[in-house]
Chain A
Amino acid sequence: MSDLTFISPLVGGLLIGLSAAILILTSGKIAGISGIVGALMQVKNTPKDHYLWRILFIAGLLSSSYVYKFFAPLPTSEISASNSTLIIAGLLVGFGTRMSSGCTSGHGICGLSRLSVRSLVATISFMVTGVIICYLLLHWTKF
């Protein structure tokens, strides 16, 4: 591994920041993915402009792999989790992010950019839990 492996994460991060900047300064919305997806599944008492910007943003996310492939080969996704683990993880991520009103993007990026104490508490909570779970999975289980 070369010493420049931080460049792609840094440039990727700058793009994510740019996206959040565009969304807040042109639409006045926060680029929090769990909030956007969760609100899309609300069907009752939604205002007229409830769906459009969310659908557009998610459409951009969904098509990003396709667009990326025009410029460079898509990096591989290595997934070690079994199907049942994916289901449990998905349920936890869906339920948890709705309960805490945000995920890595809403709290971890937008919230921390605003120096929000609330988002700092959320980010520390999910990071520390993620570290503990990985520790238990990788260094405790013997199967």
Chain B
Amino acid sequence: MKNILTLLAGLIFGIGLILSGMTNPANIISFLDVTGKWNPNLAFVMIGAILIGFFAFRRAENKPLTVFNEAIHLPGKTHITKELIIGSVLFGAGWGLAGFCPGPAIVAFGAGLKEAWIFVAAMLIGMILHDQIYLKLAQLKH
């Protein structure tokens, strides 16, 4: 049951991304182009998602047990590091360049879009570069 719900959650997430217009990089670019022909509509994606997410996560924080009575472990909320900011800036630069963030890129990859295949392949390499090389080099320095 839990596994079916997880698969369903992925499916609903993807359909939400397609319906909202997030899988079209041109929409992302026009959302970020605040000094040009700004299209603020994508702000509603975040508003809609947080509207539901707020109640779900409040429930998870007040009672950190799933409906199947398993423990929920939530990450910390206040730990602000150099990595958090530099990483977010690098991500934002890539997002603005191509108009893809990870979720929509994976959905477009699933639709067979050639550009998304290129982007996702590079994204996976970027992740490996961070986790397998950068992190290890950073550990060596300590």
Contact = CB atoms under 8 A, between A and B. Distances in A.
Interface of A: 5-6, 8-31, 33-34, 37-38, 41-42, 52-53, 56-68, 74-81, 83, 85-101, 103-105, 107-119, 121-123, 125-135, 137-139
Nearest to A24: B60
Interface in B33-88: 33-36, 41-61, 64, 66-68, 70-80, 83-88
A26 B132 CA distance: 31
Interface residues of B, number: 113
Contacts of A64: 10-11, 13-15, 17-18, 107, 110
A98 B130 contact: yes
A28 B72 contact: yes
Contacts, number: 471
User: Nearest 4 A-B pairs (CB), nearest first?
Assistant: A60-B10, A94-B126, A64-B14, A13-B48
A115 B74 CA distance: 13
B56 A67 contact: no
Contacts of A14: 16, 48-49, 51-52
B113 interface: yes
Given A12-B22, A25-B56, A67-B11, A127 B92 contact: yes
